[in-house]
Structure 1
C-alpha cells in the first residue's frame, strides 16, 4: 500500500477513504491521530494492527458535535456540559458511560465507557463531518514510540501501513489531551495534559487525580495508563534541575557511548564548551518544552549512534505535570542522580 500525503484541500478524498474502511492519519492541536470509522469494527481492528497496539488499550472517539456524543453516551451530566462549554473544541477527553452496545468492544476495550474528544483543528473537524461518522484516533505512531507531531513523523512509522495522512504542519500543543473520567461519582483525571486540574476545578469544582497502577490483567480506562509509551531507541535520563546538567554531562561522558542533550536554550548555552554527540532545543520554558518533547525524542531516533539522552526535567505543576508524565514514561522513570 502506498500511503498518500493529503493536503488540507483534499479532505473529501480522505473522508472517502475512511468511509471505505481505510485508515487516515489526521492532525489535531495535540498530536497526529490515526483515524478509522468508529462504527466499523473491521476498520478499527486495522488501527491496532498498524500500530502494534494491545487490544485492551481503549481508543478515544473524536467527534465534531456534542450531538454525536449524546447519540452514544447514556445521558450527559451538567458537569459534561460545563466542561464542553469551557474546553471544547480543545485538549480535553471526557470518559462517559455508554448506552448498551452503542460502540463495539474493539473501540472500548470491552468496557462500558468510552472516551470522547472534539479536537481544536478545523481540518479534522471538517474531515469528521465529511466522513459522517465519529473517528477513533490514537496517536499515529508505532505503539510505544514517541507520539507524532508532524506528518513526517507519521510516515516514518506507518508509511505503507495506512491509506494516507493529512499534512497540516506541526501540531501546536505537542502533548496528548487531558483525560477526565466522568463515569464515576467524583471525576478523576486519568491522564494529565495542558488542560490542568486547576482549570477544570474552576469549572466543575473538586476532582481527583488518578494514582492507581493498572495491573497486568486489568483493562485501562484511558490510553497511556498501562503500557510502555513514548520511548526512543536510546535510554533517556531525566536531569531534575538545570544546576545538575554539568554533573550529568560529566557522567554521560564517562559511559563511553555517544550521548545527546535536550534542554532549554539557557542550559544549552551553559554547555557550549562541552563535547557531546548532538543537542535539541526545548525552547525557553516548560510550555515550549512540552510542545517539542516528542519532536526531540524522534530527532534522536534518527541518529542511532546516540545511546543516552539527557533531558531536562521541570516541576510537576501546571503544564509541567503533563510534561513530566510523558518524560518519566519515556525514561522508564530513570533519573540522573549525582548521589
Structure 2
C-alpha cells in the first residue's frame, strides 16, 4: 500500500506491519518497537543483524521523557535543546540514552543504551502522534546499499513487501549524528 494519509500509515504500524516513510534526510523503515514480529521483519528486509540495534523516533520530548530521567540536569537540557532548537536544514541528532527495563532487547541489540531522536520533520512527527508513541526508524535500504532518498528508490529495494507513507524528505543532507549522552562520545559524526 502507498498512502499519503498519516492515519492510514499509523494504522499499519498498529497492525504490526512495516512502513517506509521519509525522514529528515533519508527514507526510513519503521514499525511498532514493542512488536517483535514486525521488528524481525525489518531485520529480514534489511538483512541486518539484530546486534546492531535501531533508532527510536519520537514526535516530542514527552514521548521519550522516561528515557531522560537517568541523565544529569545539564545533559538532559543539552539533549532536549539539540532536538528543539534545530533548524529544518540542520543535521538531526540521535542520542544514546540509558534504556531502562522498558525498552525491548531487540531494539537495543547488543547495546545497553537505546538510540533516540525527537524529530522536527512534520510528517514524522505527525506519524508518531497518530501512532501515539515512538516508532522504529532505521534507514530504508538493504545492508551495504545506499539509503533510499525517494519513494521510487525505497520501492525498488522492497517492492510490495511493506507499506509506504509518501511525502517529502526533510532539508537535511545527512542522516543524524549519534552521540552517547552520558559520555559525550560521537558514535556517528
Cross-structure match for 2:172: 173
Query: Once structures 1 and 2 are overlaid, which stretch shifts more, 88-97 or 133-142?
Result: 88-97
- 1:48-101 deviations in Å (ceiling 9; x for gaps): 0111111111100001121222224552332232232244375100111121x2
Shift of 1:19: 0.4
Whether contact under 8 Å (1:95, 1:115) holds in the other structure is yes
* 1:130 matches 2:126: no
Conserved 8 A contact 2:58-2:128: yes
Structure 1 runs not aligned, ≥5 long? 193-339
Pick the structure with greater CA Rg: 1
Distance change in 2, residues 1:86/1:108 (3 Å): closer
Contact 2:64-2:134 at 8 Å conserved across structures: no
Match for residue 5 of structure 1 among 2, 21, 35: 2
1:206-255 CA-partner distances (Å, limit 9, x unpaired):
xxxxxxxxxxxxxxxxxxxxxxxxxxxxxxxxxxxxxxxxxxxxxxxxxx
Give runs of aligned pairs for residues 74-89 of structure 1, distance below 5 A: 74-77=69-72, 78-88=74-84
- The answer to whether the aligner puts 1:68 opposite 2:67 as a matched pair is no
Residue 188 (1) aligns with residue 189 (2): no
- For residues 182 and 169 of structure 2, what CA distance do their matches in structure 1 show? 33
How many corresponding residue pairs? 183
Deviation of 1:15 after TM superposition, in Å, equals: 0.4
Q: Within 2, Cα distance between the matches of 1:149 and 1:168?
A: 11
Show structure 2 runs of 5+ residues with no match: 87-91
1:76/1:67 CA distance change after superposition, 3 Å: farther
Matches within 5 A, 1:141-156: 141-156=141-156
1:97 aligns with 2:92: no
State the Cα deviation string for residues 147-204 of structure 1 (Å, max 9, x = none). 1111111111011221x111213442232101000133xx111101xxxxxxxxxxxx
User: Separation in 1 of the partners of 2:39 and 2:68?
Assistant: 19
SS at match of 1:94: strand
Query: Helix, strand or coil: the match of 1:148?
Result: coil
Asked if structure 1 preserves the Cα contact closer than 8 Å seen for 2:27 and 2:148, the reply is yes
1:45/1:73 Cα in 2 relative to 1: closer, same or farther (>3 Å)? farther
Runs of 4+ in 1 over 3 A off after TM superposition: 86-90
Distance 2:68 2:185 in 1: 18
| SS state at 2:182 partner | coil
Q: Is the 8 A contact 2:59 2:120 kept in 1?
A: no
Are the aligned partners of 2:26 and 2:148 in contact in 1 as well (CA < 8 Å)? yes
> What CA distance in whole angstroms lies between the structure 2 residues aligned with 1:153 and 1:13?
21
* SS of structure 1 residue aligned to 2:49: coil
Higher strand share: 2
Partner SS for 1:47? helix
